[in-house]
Amino acid sequence: MLRNDLATPYTLGISAGAGLLACSVIVSGLIMPVMGLVASGTAGALQAVILVYALAYRSRRGDPGSDQMKKLFPLS
């Protein structure tokens, strides 16, 4: 899917997005079965993927918003 061998789910933040949403469900005190936690983790990972692709698309297209991203993340 990605052409860069270094683009793992950990460096892209996909696993962090999955963990963040699953942990927020646990901390919020919602009572749900295990499959609900799996679904929330999957939804968090999917949101992280969409965010990464949207940011990459904007920076490649040369939008003025990509200059703001360069200010926020100067090393990227």
Rounded average pLDDT over 29-53: 90
Q: Where are the domains of the chain?
A: 10-72
Residue 46 pLDDT greater than 70, yes or no: yes
Sign of CA dihedral 10, 51, 66, 70: negative
Q: pLDDT tens digits, residue range 49-59?
A: 898 888 877 77
40 to 15, 16, 33, 72: CA distances (angstroms): 12, 13, 11, 28
% of the chain surpassing 90 pLDDT:
33
- The Cα–Cα gap between 52 and 13 comes to 8
Give the model's confidence band at 69: pLDDT under 50 very low, under 70 low, under 90 confident, else very high.
low
